[in-house]
DNA sequence: CAGCGGATGTGCT
DNA sequence: GCACATCCGCTGG
């Protein structure tokens, strides 16, 4: 529940190095390339400049832009989705079913739409770090980390803007693919293998058959 | 375990 | 009106 304060300058991975955010260039690439590379990365949530949660990403989905019938960008830069058309490395948040939030990392060069939905993470430090299922699902993830529409647009490449992504020394995890979850309405786009996850990991969401 | 239905607000047709 | 990149609690095997 509370962050450890026993060591002078602990990072949230349990190591000694200070975590550094991924660069904007990392996000400025094709969304389907960025998505699988996010698996195993650390998600660091801070409030008032102080890190309070960290988690390891174990499940993501790529949403490719205007041609992708499952993407919010398919209607063009509407007020809701305009962020997806802007510079990479920012956070796209939307409200789903009136009560949950989902968070995405904007990818592709400025002017081109694309984003990666973060679906699940393994809790490391912070609230509910003892429950491996606490962050298993995009709505639960945002609820546990306190991500809301107020965080829409924040800069993921800044260590002080509330949320960032970092690499640690953990080896790259195995990767599996499947169709994206909950996009049956999207025609042939509903079957494209744009969901990436760490197979067998206890924090992955969805039905058993897709873990 | 699977399969439903309710909660609840925004963005479209 | 209705669909929606969801979750939880309830039901029945």
Cβ-contact A100, A139 below 8 angstroms: yes
Cα dihedral across residues A144, A30, A182, A90: positive or negative = positive
- For chain A, list residues with pLDDT below 70: 1-17
Strand partners, A45: A53, A163
User: Taking the C1' atom of B6, which residue's CA lies nearest?
Assistant: A97
The pLDDT value recorded for residue A5 is 40
User: Taking the C1' atom of B2, which residue's CA lies nearest?
Assistant: A207
Instruction: Work out if A208's Cβ lies within 7 angstroms of strand B.
Output: yes
- Which residues in range 1-60 of chain A are in contact with strand C, contact meaning CB within 7 A of any of its atoms? none
Rounded to an integer, what distance in angstroms lies between the CA atom of residue A120 and that of residue A109?
A: 25
Entry pTM: 0.92
CA atoms within 13 A on the CB side of A109: 0
The pLDDT value recorded for residue A107 is 98
**Nucleotide at minimal C1' distance from the A115 CA:** C5
A101-158 pLDDT, tens digit each: 999 999 999 999 999 999 999 999 987 778 999 999 999 999 999 999 999 999 999 9
The pLDDT value recorded for residue A6 is 39
As to burial, measured by CB atoms within 10 angstroms (0-12 exposed, 13-18 middle, 19+ buried), residue A25 is exposed
Backbone angles phi, psi at A146, to 5 degrees: 75, 30
Rounded to an integer, what distance in angstroms lies between the CA atom of residue A97 and that of residue A108?
A: 28
What b-and-e string marks burial along A68-105, b requiring 16 or more CB atoms within 10 Å of the CB?
bebbbbbeeeeebbebbbbbbbbbbbbeeeeeebbbbb
User: Taking the C1' atom of B7, which residue's CA lies nearest?
Assistant: A99
Rounded to an integer, what distance in angstroms lies between the CA atom of residue A154 and that of residue A159?
A: 11
The pLDDT value recorded for residue A47 is 87
Cβ-contact A162, A154 below 8 angstroms: yes
The pLDDT value recorded for residue A135 is 97
The pLDDT value recorded for residue A141 is 97
The pLDDT value recorded for residue A17 is 61
């Amino acid at each position: 529940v509370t962050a450890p304060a026993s060591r002078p300058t602990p990072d949230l991975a349990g190591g000694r190095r200070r975590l550094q955010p991924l660069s904007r260039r990392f996000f400025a690439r094709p969304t389907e390339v960025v998505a699988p590379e996010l698996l195993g990365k650390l998600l660091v949530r801070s409030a008032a400049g102080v890190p309070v949660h960290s988690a390891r990403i174990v499940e993501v989905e790529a949403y490719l832009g205007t041609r992708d019938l499952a993407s919010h960008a398919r209607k063009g830069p509407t007020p809701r989705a305009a962020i997806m058309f802007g510079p990479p490395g920012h956070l796209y948040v939307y409200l789903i079913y009136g009560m949950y939030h989902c968070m995405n990392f904007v990818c592709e060069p400025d002017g081109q739409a694309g984003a990666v939905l973060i679906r699940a993470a393994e809790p490391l430090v912070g609230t509910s770090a003892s429950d491996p299922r606490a962050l298993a699902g995009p709505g639960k993830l945002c609820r546990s980390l306190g991500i809301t529409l107020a965080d829409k647009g924040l800069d993921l490449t800044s260590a002080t803007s509330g949320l960032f992504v970092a690499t640690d020394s953990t080896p790259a995890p195995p990767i599996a693919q499947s169709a994206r979850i909950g996009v049956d309405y999207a025609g042939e786009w509903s079957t494209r293998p744009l969901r990436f996850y760490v197979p067998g990991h206890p924090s992955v969401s969805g039905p058993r058959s897709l873990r």
